[in-house]
Amino acid sequence: MRLIPRLGLAALLGTAVLALAVPAQAAFAHSAAAPAANRSATHLSAQDRHFLIAAHQGNLAEIAAGHVALAKSHNAKVRQIAQTLIADHLRLDAGVQQAAAAHHVALPTMPTRQQREELAVVSRKSGGAFDHAWLKLQEKSHLQTLAIIHRELTHGCAPDVKATARTAKPVVRMHLDMVRAALGKH
């Protein structure tokens, strides 16, 4: 069994989170330099703004969690899910960043404190205990994301932000189904 020393784990988590912040900052900086004609004039509600920020932080958390699973897990199913989460959440986050840039919404550079703490707790486990805890965290996270998506689709105003939520919904649902299948749930 491969163990990651506590300092190494903190470095892994920190590196994964910081590496994800650069594309978000670059996307916003690029949009700020864009000509005024290319900027969206659509009204952005508080709900739309909340969705963009929460979706971005959720994507960052899922990408970081995927990297932790690849570093710690020897379970082929967990590793496959982790790879899928990384690829899909990178793609989904590109859409979130594009919408945020169009509306001049500055995105946070890392997951929420709670997301980071929950991943750190899971990361301290090893073997089958890690795999189970990681899958349970993914189930919880994807249920929360589906709730955020539902609120945006129900109460959001900006068509492009709602389209971003509509695009994410089946992907997040598929992730939840994969995680539940791995947990033995139907």
Tens of each residue's pLDDT in the chain, 186 residues: 444 444 455 555 554 554 444 444 444 333 333 333 334 445 799 999 999 999 999 999 999 999 999 999 999 999 999 999 999 999 999 999 999 999 999 999 999 999 999 999 999 999 999 999 999 999 999 999 999 999 999 999 999 999 999 999 999 999 999 999 999 975
Residue 178: CB atoms within 10 A of its CB come to 18
State the Cα–Cα distance between residues 79 and 155, nearest whole angstrom.
36
For residue 43, what pLDDT is reported? 74
For residue 41, what pLDDT is reported? 45
For residue 85, what pLDDT is reported? 98
Q: Which domains does the chain have, with CATH numbers?
A: 6-32+45-183 (1.20.1260.10)
For residue 23, what pLDDT is reported? 46
Q: What is the pTM of this model?
A: 0.80
Least Cα distance to 40 among 93, 91, 100, 90 occurs for 100
List Cα–Cα distances, 167 to 47, 66, 164, in angstroms.
17, 21, 5
